[in-house]
Chain A
Amino acid sequence: MRKHSFDLVSCIAGLLFVGLAIAYIVGAYTDIRIDPRLALPLVLVGLGVAGLAASLLAQHRSNQAVAEADEQTESLTL
């Protein structure tokens, strides 16, 4: 696999689901109960944050790309 730039959505979603998986495994063996009124909104917030951050990042990269492209076309026309 090739290394690529940091994927925020993957990172947040991965942390979220690994965390929930651990919580539910622990919950299955102990008396600790995971309140779905807490777990599901947590997932929503987590995914929302991931999406928001990813879109901001994508916007930023896209702006940079336009700037670089402008520079390149300028250098080509010279």
Chain B
Amino acid sequence: MTENTETTAGPAPLPAPPSIPRPPLRRSRNDRVIGGVAGGFGQWLGIDPVIVRVVLVVLAIFGGSGLLLYAAGWLFIPDEGAVTSEAERFIAKGQRPGSTTRTVIIVIAAILIAAAALNLLATGPLEVWGLGSGSSVLLLLAAGGVVLYLVNRTPGQQVAGPPSTNFTTPSAAADAGSAMVESAAMVESAATVDAQGSDTTTGFAYGGYGDYPGYTAPMPAPVPPKPPKRRSYLGLATLSLSIITMGALAVLSASGVANIPLVAILAAGLGVLGLGMLVGTLFGRARWLLALAIPLLLVIVPLALIPQDLHLPRSAITIGEASWVPTTPASAATPRSLWIGDAVLDLSGLQLPPGEASYPVVARVGIGQLSVKVPAGMRVHVTATSGTGKVAVEGLPPVSGSNVRVVGDLPGVVSPTAPTVELRVQVGLGDLEVSRA
């Protein structure tokens, strides 16, 4: 046999040379993070799958279409070495007897996902990124795709292979070292004959990378095929370390051992991801961590804009919309805070005892808008600040920029001896408006 042309210890995996006609669009087996959609698409286009992944992640964050695209790709693009797509196979399987368990699992999963999605909508964190209720449908679709994937994968890789994929034994399919399905396809005819002629469990006289009967094909490939990629666990290990780091810092902070700002905790996690990628420069593969590092960075960037002196309560990270309507001086004096979202502070119900006393009212929003409605005639002294944004206090010129601070009295006071509301309002990143109702 002339298999010596396919030495396995070669260093760099060689990309498919341009002289070979473009392979059919398949989900990649050897370059896969979730379902191999990005890997397969990248290979099909002849570009680095990381680029596809980054585009998908960006699309997923801004509008959610990336998730839909991914789910669609996963459902309708056949797996490498297979002819039918998951969707086709799933439909075909559904018609077979004995698939009741499957259906039950899927229905339960679907209900769970729907409940989770409704819950998300109720608290509304998606609104923060400008994602409306429409994109939750996309999220649902993507989540459904993931569940289908898991359900399809767990029972021992039931690849109902069509005849043309005989050379791909199920265990080889599970093996990440099946990088050469592509090249094996080039010698398909010979390989199929060979595979049929030998027992798949005993026919590995060639001690290469596992059970790959296709590789014993005597026909010399025109191009040395890729050495099989070993699955790298660097990315997974790094991700775990990153989660441990963030969790441990959060515990330290919560238990009062050290006061660690939330931004620092997340940045530490980002740093661990970065270190993993640095290790991946020479050992293992960790490129896909990019797809996690970018969203994490997009969370850190706005959080870092919330000034430390805002003192938002770590115990209650509130996200969404808030409406504050204090009625008594005591309840008005309790500082109100919202981490992310829009808040309205309505003072029209506030009953103050007569006399020239002053009553503090404090409200803070980390990221978002804060608008304060003051009833006509109420005497208010405003101290309004914004880390980055616009501050518009009625009767005073609006100011925008960073570290904006506006101090002054609201016009339209009826009685000079009325009680004074000492209004202290702060926004970390966003706009602040104080106006008469």
In chain A between 10 and 69, which residues have their CB closer than 8 angstroms to a CB of chain B?
10-11, 13-22, 24-25, 27-29, 33-34, 36, 39-40, 43, 47, 51, 54-55, 58, 61-62, 65-66, 68-69
B267 vs chain A, min Cβ distance (A): 4
Partner of B267, one of A6, A10, A24, A66: A24
Say yes or no: A28 contacts B261, CB within 8 Å.
Answer: yes
Q: Of B9-17, B109-117, B202-210, B415-423, which binds chain A?
A: B9-17
B63 proximity list for chain A (CB < 8 A): none
Q: Is the CB of B271 within 8 A of A21?
A: yes
* Chain A nearest Cβ from B413, distance in angstroms: 37
8 A Cβ contacts from B281-295 to A: 281-287, 289-290, 293-294
Nearest CB on A from B123, distance (A):
26
B301 touches A36 (CB 8 A): yes
Question: In the bound complex, how far is the Cα of B268 from the Cα of A17, in angstroms?
Answer: 10
B287 touches A10 (CB 8 A): yes
Write out the residue numbers on chain A whose beta carbons fall within 8 Å of the beta carbon of B282. Answer: 3-4, 6-7
Asked if A66 meets B18 with Cβ closer than 8 Å, knowing A2-B230, A13-B277, the reply is yes
Contact across chains for B274 and A18 when beta carbons are under 8 A apart? yes
Task: Please indicate the chain A residues that have their CB under 8 angstroms from the CB of B232 in the complex.
Answer: 1
Chain A nearest CB, measured from B366 CB (Å):
14
Bound CA–CA A52/B401 (angstroms): 36
- Proximity string of chain B (1-36) to chain A, C-beta cutoff 8 Å, 1 when within and 0 when not: 010010000011011111100000000000000000
User: In the complex, what residue of chain A is closest to B237 when comparing beta carbons?
Assistant: A1
* A65/B14 contact (C-beta < 8 A), A17-B271, A28-B263, A28-B308 known: yes
A62 with B271: in contact, given A36-B302, A69-B222 (CB under 8 Å)? Answer: no
Q: Assign chain A's interface to a size class.
A: 35 or more
A11 touching B281, Cβ below 8 Å: yes
Q: Which of A25, A40, A69 contacts B223 (CB 8 A)?
A: A69
Q: Which residues of A contact B290 (CB under 8 A)?
A: 9, 13, 47
- B residues at A contact (CB < 8 Å): 2, 5, 11-12, 14-19, 47-48, 50-51, 54, 220, 222-224, 230, 232, 234, 261, 263-264, 266-268, 270-271, 273-287, 289-290, 293-294, 297, 300-302, 304-305, 308, 402
24 A-B pairs (CB sep. < 8 Å): A1-B283, A2-B284, A4-B283, A5-B12, A6-B281, A7-B281, A9-B50, A14-B276, A14-B280, A17-B274, A17-B297, A18-B271, A21-B274, A25-B263, A28-B261, A29-B264, A33-B402, A34-B301, A51-B48, A51-B51, A54-B50, A55-B47, A58-B15, A62-B18
Please list the 6 inter-chain residue pairs (A to B) with the smallest Cβ-Cβ separation, ordered nearest first: A21-B271, A17-B274, A14-B277, A14-B278, A18-B274, A24-B267
Using CB atoms and an 8 Å cutoff, list the residues of chain A in contact with chain B.
Answer: 1-11, 13-22, 24-25, 27-29, 33-34, 36, 39-40, 43, 47, 51, 54-55, 58, 61-62, 65-66, 68-69, 72-73, 76
